[in-house]
């Protein structure tokens, strides 16, 4: 599955992230590659496609606990900018484990409302724009038939983040735009664009070449374009940075992220015809 934009902790201009989250950095999770299917579907009641994040109780429990904590803090002081965007982030994370589209929509809408309230008073909040885009992605997953209507607002928010802080969330804006252009339909249905997808995904890798998500997204794109040569080249890069990344992105907050990365790495190796490699 290919997108999500999208979760993440903020990484501002090379400084350490402020508050880790279990789904950090995975903008692919929104799976916008399914937007065409959702828009065409008239009978499916729930999202039949499982998320790439394993639905393990410990991952879900961690996200739910973070959501409840952030919600309590935000509702006690809705004028606190940090509390607002952290609640938006927690909504995005928790929506990933929703058991139904109606539940995902309800959670995502809370995040959207919090971020829009923040931006109404602090329009320069880069975190507000970023988590607004991510929660719009979750809303798109839930609404299916209205999904394509949310693509351009997401693009606008990611572009705003790109102009304000391109290093946020390990190049989250470039990653998000790249996956958006990669997976949504092309004109005249939507804004899909291979050249733009390549540009932004490559830029994300250039900004943070040691962040596995950025390489995995390029591998995904090359495989989608039937370019196995470049996909294999990126997989070799991934093998090279994997041990160091294991040490850098460690701890409970990264557990579900690594479960996702490991699964995608193996899936892409199979698609590219590369022999399986033991996980370091």
> What sign for the dihedral angle of Cα 152, 53, 2, 45?
negative
Has residue 111 been placed in a domain?
A: yes
How many CB atoms are located within 10 Å of the residue 146 CB?
Answer: 12
Q: Give the residue from 264, 147, 139, 160 showing the smallest Cα distance to 213.
A: 264
Has residue 113 been placed in a domain?
A: yes
The pLDDT value given to residue 264: 97
The pLDDT value given to residue 8: 30
Has residue 212 been placed in a domain?
A: no
Has residue 85 been placed in a domain?
A: yes
Please report, for the domain that includes residue 92, its CATH number.
1.25.40.10
> What sign for the dihedral angle of Cα 55, 11, 230, 239?
negative
Distances (CA, A) of 40 to 144, 186, 220: 8, 15, 24
CA distance 88 to 202: 28
CA distance 90 to 76: 16
CA distance 89 to 9: 8
How many CB atoms are located within 10 Å of the residue 171 CB?
Answer: 27
Has residue 130 been placed in a domain?
A: yes
Range of the domain at 59: 4-196
165-208 tens-digit pLDDT = 999 999 999 999 999 999 999 999 999 999 999 999 999 999 99
The pLDDT value given to residue 58: 76
Has residue 23 been placed in a domain?
A: yes
Number of domains in the chain: 1
CA distance 119 to 98: 26
Phi-psi region of 226 (alpha: psi -120 to 50; beta: other; left: phi over 0): left
Has residue 18 been placed in a domain?
A: yes
> What does the mean pLDDT of the chain come to?
84
Ranges in the chain, pLDDT < 70:
1-57, 277-280
The pLDDT value given to residue 74: 97
CA distance 275 to 280: 15
Both tokens of residue 118?
A: 């923040």
Has residue 217 been placed in a domain?
A: no
Instruction: Quickly list DSSP for 61-101.
Output: HHHHHHHHHHHHHHHH-TT-HHHHHHHHHHHHHHHTT-SSH
**Percent of residues, the chain, with pLDDT higher than 90:** 71
Q: Give the residue from 178, 174, 180 showing the smallest Cα distance to 161.
A: 174
The pLDDT value given to residue 275: 85
């Amino acid at each position: 599955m290919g997108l999500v934009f999208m979760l993440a902790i903020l990484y501002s201009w090379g400084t350490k992230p402020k508050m880790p989250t279990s789904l950090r950095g995975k903008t692919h999770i929104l799976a916008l590659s399914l937007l065409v299917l959702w828009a065409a579907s008239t009978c499916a009641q729930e999202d039949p496609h499982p998320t790439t994040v394993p639905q393990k109780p410990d991952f879900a429990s961690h996200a739910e606990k973070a959501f409840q904590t952030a919600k309590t803090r935000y509702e006690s002081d809705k004028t606190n900018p940090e509390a607002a965007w952290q609640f938006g982030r927690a909504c995005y994370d928790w929506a990933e484990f929703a058991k139904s589209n109606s539940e995902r929509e309800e959670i995502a809408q809370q995040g959207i409302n919090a971020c829009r309230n923040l931006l109404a008073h602090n329009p320069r909040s880069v975190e507000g724009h970023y988590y607004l885009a991510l929660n719009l992605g979750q809303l798109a997953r839930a609404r299916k038939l209205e999904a394509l209507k949310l693509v351009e607002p997401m693009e606008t928010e990611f572009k705003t983040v790109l102009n304000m802080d391109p290093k946020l969330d390990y190049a989250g804006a470039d990653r998000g735009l790249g996956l958006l252009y990669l997976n949504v339909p092309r004109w005249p249905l939507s804004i899909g664009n291979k050249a733009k997808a390549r540009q932004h995904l490559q830029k994300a890798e250039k900004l943070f070449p040691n962040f596995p998500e950025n390489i995995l997204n390029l591998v995904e794109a090359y495989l989608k374009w039937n370019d196995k040569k470049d996909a294999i080249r990126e997989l070799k890069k991934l093998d090279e940075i994997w041990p160091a990344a294991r040490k850098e992105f460690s701890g409970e907050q990264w557990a579900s992220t690594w479960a996702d990365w490991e699964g995608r790495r193996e899936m892409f190796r199979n698609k590219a015809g590369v022999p399986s490699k033991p996980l370091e």
